[in-house]
Amino acid sequence: MRSEFVVPTDLDTATRHPRAAAPGEPVGEHNPVCYGCGSRAPHGLNLRTIAGDGLTVWADMAVTPWMEGGPGVIHGGILSTAFDEVMGAIPKLLGANAVTVHLEIDYGKPVSVGSTVRLHAELLGVQRRKIFTKAVAHLGDPNDSLAIAHAVFVTIKGREHFSDYVENSRAADEYRPHFTP
Protein backbone atom coordinates (compact mmCIF):
# COMPACT_ATOMS: atom_id res chain seq x y z
CA MET A 1 0.00 0.00 0.00
CA ARG A 2 1.51 3.30 -1.07
CA SER A 3 0.00 6.67 -1.86
CA GLU A 4 1.08 10.17 -2.77
CA PHE A 5 -0.39 13.32 -1.31
CA VAL A 6 -2.35 14.87 -4.16
CA VAL A 7 -5.40 17.05 -3.54
CA PRO A 8 -7.97 16.21 -6.22
CA THR A 9 -9.39 18.98 -8.36
CA ASP A 10 -13.00 17.72 -8.17
CA LEU A 11 -13.58 18.47 -4.50
CA ASP A 12 -16.88 18.35 -2.63
CA THR A 13 -18.27 21.36 -0.81
CA ALA A 14 -17.01 21.45 2.78
CA THR A 15 -18.74 23.39 5.51
CA ARG A 16 -18.12 23.84 9.18
CA HIS A 17 -20.52 21.74 11.27
CA PRO A 18 -23.07 23.91 13.10
CA ARG A 19 -22.08 22.34 16.43
CA ALA A 20 -18.32 22.51 15.83
CA ALA A 21 -16.15 24.45 18.29
CA ALA A 22 -16.34 28.19 17.64
CA PRO A 23 -13.15 30.09 16.77
CA GLY A 24 -11.06 30.40 19.95
CA GLU A 25 -12.68 27.39 21.64
CA PRO A 26 -10.90 24.07 22.24
CA VAL A 27 -11.85 21.44 19.69
CA GLY A 28 -11.89 18.89 22.51
CA GLU A 29 -10.20 15.55 23.01
CA HIS A 30 -11.48 12.67 20.91
CA ASN A 31 -10.44 10.13 23.53
CA PRO A 32 -9.47 11.04 27.12
CA VAL A 33 -6.56 8.59 27.01
CA CYS A 34 -5.29 9.48 23.52
CA TYR A 35 -1.50 9.86 23.40
CA GLY A 36 -1.86 13.11 21.45
CA CYS A 37 -4.77 14.96 23.05
CA GLY A 38 -5.99 12.98 26.04
CA SER A 39 -6.13 14.87 29.31
CA ARG A 40 -5.75 11.53 31.12
CA ALA A 41 -2.89 10.13 29.00
CA PRO A 42 -0.10 9.88 31.56
CA HIS A 43 2.78 9.93 29.08
CA GLY A 44 1.08 11.85 26.27
CA LEU A 45 1.48 15.21 24.59
CA ASN A 46 -1.75 16.53 26.17
CA LEU A 47 -2.19 18.82 23.17
CA ARG A 48 -5.05 21.28 23.42
CA THR A 49 -6.17 22.16 19.91
CA ILE A 50 -8.09 25.38 19.41
CA ALA A 51 -10.51 26.11 16.57
CA GLY A 52 -9.41 28.93 14.29
CA ASP A 53 -11.32 30.92 11.71
CA GLY A 54 -12.89 28.98 8.86
CA LEU A 55 -11.71 25.40 8.67
CA THR A 56 -8.47 25.86 10.61
CA VAL A 57 -7.12 24.88 14.02
CA TRP A 58 -3.98 25.54 16.03
CA ALA A 59 -2.14 24.26 19.09
CA ASP A 60 0.95 25.27 21.03
CA MET A 61 3.39 22.61 22.17
CA ALA A 62 6.15 23.26 24.68
CA VAL A 63 9.19 21.22 23.64
CA THR A 64 10.27 19.59 26.90
CA PRO A 65 13.46 17.60 27.61
CA TRP A 66 11.74 14.20 27.32
CA MET A 67 10.97 15.01 23.65
CA GLU A 68 14.66 15.13 22.71
CA GLY A 69 15.88 13.29 19.62
CA GLY A 70 19.15 14.79 18.39
CA PRO A 71 21.14 16.65 21.07
CA GLY A 72 19.04 19.61 22.19
CA VAL A 73 16.37 19.22 19.54
CA ILE A 74 12.98 17.57 19.24
CA HIS A 75 12.63 14.01 17.98
CA GLY A 76 11.03 14.04 14.52
CA GLY A 77 8.53 11.38 15.56
CA ILE A 78 7.19 13.58 18.35
CA LEU A 79 6.69 16.45 15.94
CA SER A 80 5.02 14.04 13.52
CA THR A 81 2.62 12.91 16.26
CA ALA A 82 1.77 16.50 17.09
CA PHE A 83 1.10 17.25 13.43
CA ASP A 84 -1.13 14.16 13.14
CA GLU A 85 -3.08 15.19 16.20
CA VAL A 86 -3.61 18.80 15.18
CA MET A 87 -4.58 17.98 11.59
CA GLY A 88 -6.82 15.26 13.06
CA ALA A 89 -8.94 17.99 14.62
CA ILE A 90 -9.98 19.31 11.19
CA PRO A 91 -12.50 16.46 10.58
CA LYS A 92 -14.12 17.38 13.89
CA LEU A 93 -14.82 20.87 12.54
CA LEU A 94 -16.67 19.10 9.74
CA GLY A 95 -18.59 17.01 12.27
CA ALA A 96 -16.86 13.80 11.15
CA ASN A 97 -15.00 10.98 12.87
CA ALA A 98 -11.90 10.18 10.82
CA VAL A 99 -8.56 8.39 11.02
CA THR A 100 -5.25 9.14 9.31
CA VAL A 101 -4.48 7.10 6.21
CA HIS A 102 -1.56 9.16 4.93
CA LEU A 103 0.86 11.48 6.73
CA GLU A 104 3.97 13.15 5.36
CA ILE A 105 6.34 15.64 6.94
CA ASP A 106 8.99 17.97 5.54
CA TYR A 107 11.42 18.92 8.30
CA GLY A 108 13.01 22.28 7.46
CA LYS A 109 14.88 23.36 10.60
CA PRO A 110 15.86 21.79 13.93
CA VAL A 111 13.36 22.52 16.71
CA SER A 112 15.08 23.39 19.96
CA VAL A 113 14.24 21.84 23.31
CA GLY A 114 12.88 24.70 25.42
CA SER A 115 11.01 26.33 22.55
CA THR A 116 7.24 26.49 22.15
CA VAL A 117 6.08 25.42 18.73
CA ARG A 118 2.83 26.58 17.21
CA LEU A 119 1.14 24.10 14.91
CA HIS A 120 -1.42 25.56 12.54
CA ALA A 121 -3.58 23.26 10.41
CA GLU A 122 -6.04 23.94 7.64
CA LEU A 123 -8.44 22.04 5.43
CA LEU A 124 -7.34 21.72 1.81
CA GLY A 125 -10.40 19.86 0.61
CA VAL A 126 -12.85 17.00 0.96
CA GLN A 127 -13.64 14.31 -1.59
CA ARG A 128 -16.15 11.64 -0.60
CA ARG A 129 -14.73 10.16 2.66
CA LYS A 130 -11.27 11.70 2.20
CA ILE A 131 -10.24 14.87 4.04
CA PHE A 132 -7.04 16.59 2.86
CA THR A 133 -5.16 18.79 5.34
CA LYS A 134 -1.96 20.78 5.66
CA ALA A 135 -0.15 22.02 8.77
CA VAL A 136 2.79 24.31 9.48
CA ALA A 137 4.96 24.35 12.61
CA HIS A 138 6.58 27.68 13.47
CA LEU A 139 7.82 29.85 16.32
CA GLY A 140 5.42 32.75 15.76
CA ASP A 141 5.81 33.58 12.09
CA PRO A 142 3.91 31.12 9.86
CA ASN A 143 5.99 32.27 6.90
CA ASP A 144 9.14 31.11 8.69
CA SER A 145 8.27 27.44 9.06
CA LEU A 146 10.17 24.77 10.97
CA ALA A 147 8.29 21.91 9.34
CA ILE A 148 5.30 21.35 7.07
CA ALA A 149 2.93 18.38 7.10
CA HIS A 150 0.25 17.03 4.82
CA ALA A 151 -2.25 14.34 5.71
CA VAL A 152 -5.26 12.51 4.40
CA PHE A 153 -7.96 11.40 6.82
CA VAL A 154 -10.80 9.04 5.97
CA THR A 155 -14.14 9.21 7.73
CA ILE A 156 -15.23 6.19 9.73
CA LYS A 157 -18.17 5.00 11.78
CA GLY A 158 -16.59 5.12 15.23
CA ARG A 159 -18.43 2.21 16.82
CA GLU A 160 -17.83 -0.13 13.88
CA HIS A 161 -14.20 0.89 13.43
CA PHE A 162 -13.12 0.46 17.06
CA SER A 163 -15.43 -2.34 18.24
CA ASP A 164 -12.77 -5.08 17.93
CA TYR A 165 -10.20 -3.00 19.85
CA VAL A 166 -12.09 -1.10 22.51
CA GLU A 167 -11.42 -3.72 25.20
CA ASN A 168 -7.70 -2.88 24.87
CA SER A 169 -8.37 0.75 25.79
CA ARG A 170 -7.25 2.12 29.14
CA ALA A 171 -10.76 3.58 29.23
CA ALA A 172 -12.54 0.33 28.25
CA ASP A 173 -14.91 0.58 31.21
CA GLU A 174 -16.13 3.96 29.99
CA TYR A 175 -16.39 2.93 26.35
CA ARG A 176 -18.05 -0.47 26.92
CA PRO A 177 -21.62 0.86 27.44
CA HIS A 178 -21.37 2.77 24.11
CA PHE A 179 -20.29 -0.36 22.24
CA THR A 180 -22.80 -2.79 23.76
CA PRO A 181 -25.75 -3.36 21.39
Ligand X SMILES: CCCCC/C=C\C/C=C\C/C=C\C/C=C\CCCC(=O)SCCNC(=O)CCNC(=O)[C@H](O)C(C)(C)COP(=O)(O)OP(=O)(O)OC[C@H]1O[C@@H](n2cnc3c(N)ncnc32)[C@H](O)[C@@H]1OP(=O)(O)O
Residues that bind ligand X (CB under 6 A): 3, 30-31, 36, 84-85, 88, 97, 99-102, 127-130, 152, 154, 156, 158-159, 162, 178
Q: How far is the CB of 115 from ligand X (least distance, A)?
A: 23
User: Which of 136, 175 has the CB closer to ligand X?
Assistant: 175
Closest approach of ligand X to the CB of residue 143, in Å? 27
Q: Are 102 and 87 in contact (CB under 8 A)?
A: no
Q: Closest approach of Cβ 62 to ligand X, in Å?
A: 20
The distance of closest approach from Cβ of residue 87 to ligand X in the complex, given in angstroms and rounded to an integer, is 8
**Residues 152, 101: contact at Cβ < 8 Å?**
yes
Residue nearest to ligand X (CB): 88
Helix, strand, coil % (nearest 5) of the chain? 20, 30, 50
Residue 31 or 56 having the CB closest to ligand X: 31
Per-position DSSP letters for 121-162, written without gaps between them? EEEEEEETTEEEEEEEEESS-TTSEEEEEEEEEEE--HHHHH
CA atoms within 13 A on the CB side of 169: 20
Q: Which is nearer to ligand X, 139 or 148 (CB)?
A: 148
